[in-house]
Amino acid sequence: MSTTVLLAVTGLGLGALYFLVAAGLSLIFGLMDVLNFAHGALLSVGAYATWWAAGGHLPGAGSGGFGFVLAVCFGTAVGTVAAVVLELALIRPLYDRPREQVLATVGVGLAVPALLSAIWGPDARPFPGPAALSGTFGLLGARIPVNRLVLIGAAAVVLVALRLFLGGTRHGLVVRAGVEDRAMVTALGIDVRRAFTLVFAIGGAAAALGGALGGLYYGSVDPGQGTSLLIFAFVVVVIGGTFGAGGSGAATGSVAGAALAAVVVGLVQQFANYYTASGLGDLAVVVLLAVLLLLKPGGVTGRLA
Amino acid sequence: MSTEPLLAVRGLAVVIGGRHILHGVDLDVAPSGVTALLGRNGAGKTTTVRGVLGLVPRTGSVRFLGEETVRLATHALVRRGVGYAPEDRGIFAALTVAENLRLAERPGAGGPAYGLVHELFPELKARAKQLAGTLSGGQQQMVAIGRTLLNGNRLIIADEPTKGLAPKVVTEVARVLERAAQAVPVLLVEQNLAMVRRLAEHCVVLADGRTAHRGPAADLLADPEATRRLLGVGRRADAVSEENPMAPQDTGTAATSAADSGKAGA
């Protein structure tokens, strides 16, 4: 029983991490048809910026209490700025050339880890975190690491905030409409490119927050973290697309679909890794993806979002 | 009133995927009333409208209110006062009726004219919270036209607003456009010649991606030889039943313009 509880909570924590990456990926693809292979790099940027700030390099920031909160905010802000710069400098000039756009994001996705590795080395660096978050607590006989709850809580807050943004603001309305028909949005006098930049900023912020809190989850940061998470985040986006089809609104449906898919993927991975051989969990997720796509191919070709 | 055209298009050319869809369209929209854009299926009517709006890459000259707009992005031209009801109606199916209308709101003098829209289409008020994708074709067309009336536009472009609608709804759309045209000039793409006869003062006829004829609409419709040659109408255009003046005709031009729209969407 205690093992099941621990696996479930750990799976949920991993799912929360996937969701933080997948939410932005899904919105960006839904609105702009851009497969952002640089999204993992944004997570890494957030992780390293948080690690750097929490290591005492940013005045006021540190590894404990308010200092850590400040470090996480700093990491998230740096990731957000990186996402906006990415959109304005690389994605926007290539709107009419989707193939080059993909190549450019792949390039950034390779260059950023290489850069991080060049500056801070290829090895994992211990991630400083507050003592309060490094402990465990008892739940149904299991000892659960507190940082899992932090991740799950953060993902829940991001999910609620995204739904409020999409459902309750004019910018959110523009994003939802743009997911359906970008050209018609411009034909109503709306500069849809501003929505593109906004969605990149939101996606970058969520991924960078994922990076900051992922440091707690893994206990370390390394240059390849973002890339390996990105693969599973893409799986989550595609599975979420098969869930979200026919939901309430395409965009809100995609965010909810991504959340549900993230939970499923996280749980399947944890349980399969524990009860079969280590590593089979990753394979199980890919098999799950293949089965869902065979059963419901419209999930990808129709609208991911 | 100035006689200078509200919208003056010269030498509009559109190339999509290496294919020349438009070779040189000239058209003027008069500063008042309805100007009809006519032509057989595949003549380039929808592409012309999309080219004017910048929804497809185009060259040539598009002057709106005396200003050259061919280098402007679509949203920038629209903000200068253009309301557009596209051929496929451009409805956001997953949004509610109210949200579809709210998207069209633009900051400007007087705020959005919901009073006018709800007066013309009381149904839109009653169905405000309904998802637009669940509306009937006629109701969706009301949303599309309602969006063009919300902002005190200087020009309304309606691309086949009666296509695929029941005769009763066609009459309703004609009534609304007639009323709208009293305040705002309308560029109307239309296959239903009874509709053109009722609403349009001027007309431009396209053939094979070029302007083939320009002049008063009544003159063209009164000339059976010209209507047959330019529009492919097999019989006299005024042979429409007086009992049901808005019924679509059983001629080539009254058929759905699938070829036209298919090409424009390429």
- The closest CB to that of A188, out of B93, B94, B103, belongs to B103
Token pair recorded at residue A35: 């497969």
- Structural domains of chain A in order of their starting residue, each with its CATH number: 2-301 (1.10.3470)
Query: If you count residue pairs, one on A and one on B, with CB atoms under 8 Å apart, how many are there?
Result: 62
**Mean of the pLDDT values across residues B151-172?**
91
Question: What is the least distance, in Å, from the CA of B122 to any CA of chain A?
Answer: 22
CA angle A213, A264, A9 (to 5 degrees): 50
Q: Tell me which residue has tokens 């086949």.
A: B160
Report the distance separating Cα A92 and Cα A76, nearest Å: 22
Environment class of residue B68 by beta-carbon count within 10 Å: exposed (0-12), middle (13-18) or buried (19+)? Answer: exposed
* Statement: residue B257 has pLDDT above 50: no
| Residue B99 belongs to domain with CATH number | 3.40.50.300
pLDDT score of B74: 94
Token pair recorded at residue A30: 């839904």
- Local confidence band at A276 (pLDDT 50, 70, 90 cut-offs): confident
pLDDT digits 0-9 by tens, A156-190: 999 999 999 998 999 999 999 988 898 999 999 99
Nearest to B35 by CA among B194, B186, B231: B186
Instruction: Spell out which residues of chain B touch residue A167, defining contact as CB-CB under 8 Å.
Output: none
pLDDT score of A279: 79
Q: Residue B146: inside a domain, yes or no?
A: yes
**Helical ranges in chain A per DSSP H:** 2-32, 39-52, 65-86, 98-120, 131-134, 146-168, 170-180, 182-187, 192-218, 225-244, 250-275, 280-295, 298-301
Are the CB atoms for A82 and A206 separated by under 8 Å? no
Report the distance separating Cα A225 and Cα A228, nearest Å: 5
Beta pairing partners, A125: A221
Looking at residue B132, the DSSP 8-state letter turns out to be: G
Q: Show which of residues 67-126 on chain A sit within 8 Å of chain B, judged by CB atoms.
A: none
Environment class of residue B188 by beta-carbon count within 10 Å: exposed (0-12), middle (13-18) or buried (19+)? Answer: buried
* Residue to substitute from A188, A194, A196, interface B, most B β-carbons within 10 A: A188
* Statement: residue B47 has pLDDT above 60: yes
Higher pLDDT residue, A275 or A108? A108
Q: Show which of residues 179-218 on chain A sit within 8 Å of chain B, judged by CB atoms.
A: 180-181, 183-192
Report the distance separating Cα A199 and Cα B44, nearest Å: 36
Q: Residue B2: inside a domain, yes or no?
A: no
Q: What are phi and psi of B8, to 5 degrees?
A: -125, 115
pLDDT score of B97: 95
Report the distance separating Cα B162 and Cα B177, nearest Å: 11
Question: What is the least distance, in Å, from the CA of A220 to any CA of chain B?
Answer: 43
Average pLDDT taken over every residue of chain A:
87
pLDDT digits 0-9 by tens, A41-83: 999 999 999 999 988 888 877 777 888 899 999 999 999 999 9
Residues 6+ apart with CB under 8 A from A181: B90, B92
pLDDT score of B109: 60
Contact A176 B104 (CB under 8 A): no
Question: What is the least distance, in Å, from the CA of A179 to any CA of chain B?
Answer: 9
Note down the domain range covering B191.
7-264
- The closest CB to that of B74, out of A174, A177, A186, belongs to A186
Count up the domains in chain B and report the number.
1
Instruction: Spell out which residues of chain B touch residue A248, defining contact as CB-CB under 8 Å.
Output: 94
Nearest to A258 by CA among A299, A217, A198: A299
Token pair recorded at residue A303: 């609208």
SS3 state of residue B32: coil
pLDDT digits 0-9 by tens, A219-269: 889 998 888 899 889 889 888 877 755 444 566 667 888 899 899 999 999
* DSSP code per residue over A238-257: HHHHHHHTTSSSHHHHHHHH
Asked if the C-beta of A249 comes within 8 angstroms of chain B's C-beta atoms, the answer is yes
Contact A181 B86 (CB under 8 A): no
pLDDT score of A250: 60
**Mean of the pLDDT values across residues B9-25?**
91
Report strand pairing: B200-207 vs B210-216: antiparallel
pLDDT digits 0-9 by tens, B219-232: 888 888 888 888 87
SS3 state of residue B29: strand
pLDDT score of A280: 82
